[in-house]
Amino acid sequence: MPQATTLFGLLPVVLALVIQSGSHCVQAQNVPFYIPFYDQSANGFTMPARGWNTYGLQANPKTSKFFFNDANFRQQCSYIQTQPGYDYYCSLDSGWSVGGNGDEYGRLIPEPSVIPNITDLANFLHSKGLLLGVYVLPGAFTSDANKLVYGTNIKIGSLFNTTSDPSGKTCNDYNARNNFLYSLDGVQQWHNSVVNQFAEWGIDFIKLDYVTPGSPEGGCMPYDSSSSVIAFHNAIKQSGRTIRLDISWKLDRDLPYWEIWRDNADSLRTDQDINNSGSNTLVSWATVQRAIENFRIYITQQTLDPTRQGQGIQVRPDMDNAYVGNAQQITGLSDVQRYSVAIHWIGAGANYITGSDLTNIDSLGKQLLYNEEAMDVADFTSQWPMQPRNPEGWGTPGGSASMQLQAWISGPNEQGTAVVILTNLGPDQGQGGFGTNWGGVHNVSIALNDLGIGPDCKNGGKIWSVRRVWGGGGSGGPDHTGPWNITTAVESWLGPGESVLYKFQKME
């Protein structure tokens, strides 16, 4: 792709009205254009989670004065602005519970120095219209082997899995825990006892981390702890409380595991953590590129596999915390890059949970988390996730390959509404998947036919009214401008790390 001169960095977005090459509706990988959509999740949710999670500030204590305790947790949560139709969670990550043992029945115990009264905390959040989340790992503490499962005469240790995995290793004893042999009577009763206690406390969200196959890369972990997801799901069902189950991380999405995640969890981590543990800033652009690439892989698994088409996606993507609330010296991202995080997380219809320091949020952070027009777009993409459609200048425009210069489309729905995102991810910093390293400002252009909404497409139209919701904060132009009518293509000059978000409405 040719590089633009710096003059183009001063130009506004141009909505191309010229005829683009190709007059037919491009079919990605010779597969007819398919519009993915979300459906109700296993535990009954129809919208992604929103809110705030502690882990970014826990893992990066140099970025703020946050100390992991009840008072600071409440303070952060008090800054959340809620919107009707969504569940907003304040979620405690690793470290909220005692690390070496459970109670007399092997159930988790809140760490007194962190959360002295978890029921009181839950009541506080509920009084503000917020919900409480907690972090758990598969299995029970190894030190609790001689304790009985609540309501039974079954020793917890008798349920432990001590067999080797297919590689010949025994990796069931990890993080002071032991994985279960899930076929044994007593395992589900133990999970029921844990979740029932959570329900009594007022817990609304469970993040189940270190699920395999998938996580972690390296280390010695149980080869397959997918049955823990089933056990927690069944425990939630019998508890009578509405609890969301998020599973993590970077999980295997081939069969049979995809069906396990789909039928039991509400969201799954498509990537690993994107924060900079122990750093002076919360996140880096390199890991954001990786998170976007992992979502691209996730959504193309749904759109290109005929066996997954025609049915709603029940388990939503969790792309990790959206670090968009703070200025660059805290976040580690430029304003342009912060826009891109918000645009891609919203476009994906993913969980929109931030890890930013909400006590130090700036004006841009407020817009990226709460702007009404952008949240209206999020209402749409929460039902119709974006998918990649390679822009002009490539051998397969309209395809779904990983690209530095990329176009995405969400929808259209039956009312002729769509969302389009154009982006220049900038030079690949090693994990972006596209492998190109163009600097400077570039034109990202795509024909409507290549987006799947041109006049030659089944879901297309001759004229579209286009509104630029977010201009990306850089050369892409200002926010909240338009609408314009376009007939053939959309384009924008975008610098490295810059994205633009459009809302489309079919006129004819």
pLDDT in tens, 384-424: 999 999 999 887 899 999 999 999 999 999 999 999 999 99
Q: Which two tokens stand for residue 68?
A: 């992991």
* H or E, element range at 506: strand 498-506
Q: Which two tokens stand for residue 420?
A: 């389009």
pLDDT in tens, 37-64: 999 999 999 999 999 999 999 988 777 7
Strand 173-174 to strand 205-208: parallel, antiparallel, or no bridges (unpaired)?
A: unpaired
What's the confidence (pLDDT) of residue 349? Answer: 98
Distance between start and end Cα atoms, the chain: 33
Q: Above pLDDT 90, what percent of the chain?
A: 83
What's the confidence (pLDDT) of residue 395? Answer: 78
pLDDT of 11 above 60 = no
Cα-Cα-Cα-Cα torsion 390, 392, 398, 399, nearest 10 degrees, comes to -50
Distance from C-alpha of 126 to C-alpha of 411, rounded to nearest angstrom:
35
Contact 502, 16 (CB under 8 A): no
pLDDT of 14 above 70 = no
What mean pLDDT do residues 327-332 have?
Answer: 96
Distance from C-alpha of 362 to C-alpha of 48, rounded to nearest angstrom:
24
218: confidence class by pLDDT, cuts 50, 70, 90: low
152: confidence class by pLDDT, cuts 50, 70, 90: very high
pLDDT of 7 above 50 = no
* H or E, element range at 98: none
Distance from C-alpha of 486 to C-alpha of 186, rounded to nearest angstrom:
63
pLDDT in tens, 471-484: 988 888 899 999 99
Q: How far is the CA of 381 from the CAs of 376, 387, 396, 452, in angstroms?
A: 9, 11, 25, 17
Q: Which has more confidence, 225 or 1? A: 225
Distance from C-alpha of 459 to C-alpha of 417, rounded to nearest angstrom:
10
pTM: 0.93
Active site residues: 209, 273
What's the confidence (pLDDT) of residue 168? Answer: 77
Contact 425, 336 (CB under 8 A): no
pLDDT of 273 above 50 = yes
What mean pLDDT do residues 449-459 have?
Answer: 92
Name the residue with tokens 């189950």. Answer: 245
The CATH classification number of 49-77+86-272+295-334 equals: 3.20.20.70
Q: Please tell me whether residue 405 adopts helix, strand or coil conformation.
A: strand
What's the confidence (pLDDT) of residue 217? Answer: 66
pLDDT of 66 above 70 = yes
pLDDT of 373 above 60 = yes
Distance of CA 228 to the CA centre of its chain: 21
What mean pLDDT do residues 331-354 have?
Answer: 98
Distance from C-alpha of 217 to C-alpha of 227, rounded to nearest angstrom:
20
pLDDT of 15 above 50 = no
- For the chain, which residues make up each domain, given as ranges? 49-77+86-272+295-334
Distance from C-alpha of 47 to C-alpha of 118, rounded to nearest angstrom:
26
Distance from C-alpha of 291 to C-alpha of 337, rounded to nearest angstrom:
13
Q: How far is the CA of 458 from the CAs of 27, 270, 399, 455, 489, in angstroms?
A: 11, 31, 17, 8, 17
What's the confidence (pLDDT) of residue 216? Answer: 76
31: confidence class by pLDDT, cuts 50, 70, 90: low
Who's near 199: CB < 8 A, 6+ residues apart? 239, 240, 241, 243
Q: Please tell me whether residue 227 adopts helix, strand or coil conformation.
A: helix
Crossing angle, helix 335-347 and helix 363-370, to 10 degrees? Answer: 10
Q: Which amino acid is at 296?
A: R
pLDDT in tens, 154-177: 999 999 998 877 777 788 778 899
Q: Please tell me whether residue 314 adopts helix, strand or coil conformation.
A: coil
What mean pLDDT do residues 113-119 have?
Answer: 97
The mean of the pLDDT values for the chain is: 91
Cα–Cα–Cα angle for 215, 256, 30, nearest 5°? 100
Q: Which has more confidence, 391 or 9? A: 391
pLDDT of 505 above 90 = yes
In this structure, what DSSP letter does residue 96 have? S
What's the confidence (pLDDT) of residue 22? Answer: 37
Q: For residue 429, which phi and psi values (nearest 5 degrees)?
A: -95, 20
